[in-house]
Amino acid sequence: MDSAQETRVTMEEITALAKRRGFIFQSSEIYGGLNGFWDFGPLGAPLKRNVKNAWWRDTVELRGDVVAFDSSIVMHPQVWKASGHIDVFHDVMVDCKVCKHRFRLDHLKNRAQCPDCGSKDSFTEPRNFNLMMKTFVGPMEDTSAVAYLRPETAQGIFVNFKNVYQTARKKPPFGIAQIGKSFRNEITPGNFIFRVREFEQAELEYFVPDDGNDMQVFHEWVERRKGWYSNYGIKPERLRFYELTDAERPHYAKAGIDVEYLFPWGWGELESIAHRTTYDLDAHMKLSGKDLQYFDEANKTKYTPLLIESSAGMDRTTLTFLIDAYDRETSVDPNGKNIERVVLRFHPQIAPVQAAVFSLARNRDDLVERARNVESGLRPHFRTQYDEGNIGQLYRRQDEIGTPFCITVDHQTLEDAAVTVRERDSMRQDRVQADQLETYLRERL
């Protein structure tokens, strides 16, 4: 076992913390929950939003060559015919004839024994199971009204390729990016929010001319994504970029790299980066009969661009940030006593709360008012929270939700206008003039 795995948090600890502190709840919990669906609470919603914003910032806003997009979840069923999802987007499943539980064949360690009830040779013959979720559009519930919830956001971009390049006046190489919900009727959802039935994807579709530079662009995107994970503090020893072999890649893909993280149960895919050739645009042109080629006005030529895709699951990435940030440490307090604390060492841009402001006493109106004023003064600049009470408990709570700075207004503040600022990781404490707080935090966040 490598060192990265030895000190790992368990999934039980992560799910308990996520529930206790209001990150993630089971969907429809009061009715017993619904397998594969989760709700993000008052801390989980900002955590996931920060992860998405960090992706968006790096993939769209900081580049001059990527435009934004937001397509509908339900699209014309022909989209899924052309993309191949109707015909080949399935997993192979088996049922146990005794306990009636259903399994993905490739997830079974032993195909001769049911892992749930232990029955021997109780599985049905393997069958294909399509993963798309079906619905009906309009008042009729017949086959002509069948539609699907998208299993990936990418197809919305492909079918709009011409609309986008013409209106945004873009010429390959350029990209189209979107973040949105996708749905897959997974046979066996599990590992908390890792494999779910409703999730969010952040997808970049980058179109390049067939001029011999396509593999270089593919590797540039791999490097950019590596840089992103590293900038936001994901431990490099828990991240790997796995190059798919010829046999593992879909037939149309020229290259493929999976970004994988070492979760407590082992390596799991976070993102796939693929060179998808002209496959998607070709497929839609063939079925729709519409021209989706790029027309180059300058030299009056037409061509189908090649496509480099980066597709990351935002729920899995959020889970990765939670797990990667988790730390349990023992330290010695000023009285020589051992204290244990759980701390989420989030990157400041990812942390749901960046600065918590406390009044040392709940029953002193002057302190409470001063602390509330400090908090409201910082609120336009940072993600803040106000709290009051026992300082030890307040620190423990903020450590557990990953808040980088805690600011305490105490009796001394009323005399010298200074507050105590405590840094999460080092637990170092500084005395800072209240009117200097914004600058102090800005330099450190």
Query: Binders of ligand GAP: how many residues, by CB under 6 A?
Result: 18
Does 304 interact with ligand GAP (rule: CB under 6 A)?
no
* Amino acid letter, residue 128: N
Name the residue nearer to ligand GAP (CB basis): 218 or 405: 218
DSSP tag of 121: S
Does 410 interact with ligand GAP (rule: CB under 6 A)?
no
- Contact between 138 and 145 (Cβ < 8 Å): yes
Contacts for 104 with CB less than 8 Å, ≥ 6 apart: 91, 92, 93, 187, 188
Q: Which of 186, 282, 327, 438 binds ligand GAP (CB under 6 A)?
A: 186
45 alpha carbon, distance to own chain's centre: 11
- Contact between 314 and 179 (Cβ < 8 Å): yes
- We find the least distance from the C-beta atom of residue 133 to ligand GAP, in angstroms, to be 11
Does 269 interact with ligand GAP (rule: CB under 6 A)?
yes
What sections of 57-123 are H helices per DSSP?
A: 77-83, 85-88
Contacts made by residues 229-235, CB under 8 angstroms, sequence distance 24+: 229/259, 231/58, 231/347, 232/54, 232/321, 232/347, 232/349, 232/350, 233/324, 233/325, 233/345, 233/346, 233/347, 233/350, 234/261, 234/320, 234/321, 234/324, 235/4, 235/324
Does 195 interact with ligand GAP (rule: CB under 6 A)?
yes
Does 344 interact with ligand GAP (rule: CB under 6 A)?
no
Contacts for 83 with CB less than 8 Å, ≥ 6 apart: 155, 158, 280, 283, 284
Name the residue nearer to ligand GAP (CB basis): 311 or 420: 311
Does 48 interact with ligand GAP (rule: CB under 6 A)?
no
- Contact between 33 and 202 (Cβ < 8 Å): no
Residues 152-181 interacting with ligand GAP (rule: CB under 6 A): 152, 154
Name the residue nearer to ligand GAP (CB basis): 311 or 385: 311
The 10 Å Cβ neighbour count of residue 62 is 10
Does 91 interact with ligand GAP (rule: CB under 6 A)?
no
Does 315 interact with ligand GAP (rule: CB under 6 A)?
yes
Does 201 interact with ligand GAP (rule: CB under 6 A)?
yes
Q: Which of 271, 280, 399, 410 binds ligand GAP (CB under 6 A)?
A: 271
Q: Which of 196, 351, 374, 418 binds ligand GAP (CB under 6 A)?
A: 196
Name the residue nearer to ligand GAP (CB basis): 316 or 422: 316
Name the residue nearer to ligand GAP (CB basis): 272 or 384: 272
Does 277 interact with ligand GAP (rule: CB under 6 A)?
no
Helix axis angle, 44-56 relative to 314-325, nearest 10°?
110
What is the three-class DSSP state of 387?
strand
- We find the least distance from the C-beta atom of residue 203 to ligand GAP, in angstroms, to be 6
Q: Candidates 73-81, 191-199, 211-219, 337-345: pick the segment binding ligand GAP (CB under 6 A).
A: 191-199
Does 311 interact with ligand GAP (rule: CB under 6 A)?
yes
Does 93 interact with ligand GAP (rule: CB under 6 A)?
no
Rounded to whole angstroms, the Cα distance separating 152 from 250 reads: 16
Does 214 interact with ligand GAP (rule: CB under 6 A)?
no
Q: Candidates 92-100, 270-278, 295-303, 329-337: pick the segment binding ligand GAP (CB under 6 A).
A: 270-278
Contacts made by residues 415-422, CB under 8 angstroms, sequence distance 24+: 419/374, 422/395
Rounded to whole angstroms, the Cα distance separating 372 from 61 reads: 34
Rounded to whole angstroms, the Cα distance separating 81 from 342 reads: 49
Rounded to whole angstroms, the Cα distance separating 223 from 95 reads: 42
Q: Which helix (H) or strand (E) holds 220?
A: helix 214-231
Does 313 interact with ligand GAP (rule: CB under 6 A)?
yes
Name the residue nearer to ligand GAP (CB basis): 309 or 388: 309
Does 37 interact with ligand GAP (rule: CB under 6 A)?
no
Name the residue nearer to ligand GAP (CB basis): 17 or 253: 253
Q: Which of 316, 347, 383, 424 binds ligand GAP (CB under 6 A)?
A: 316
Name the residue nearer to ligand GAP (CB basis): 60 or 154: 154
Does 388 interact with ligand GAP (rule: CB under 6 A)?
no
Does 130 interact with ligand GAP (rule: CB under 6 A)?
no
Residues in contact with ligand GAP by CB under 6 A are 152, 154, 184, 186, 195-196, 199, 201, 203, 269-272, 311-313, 315-316
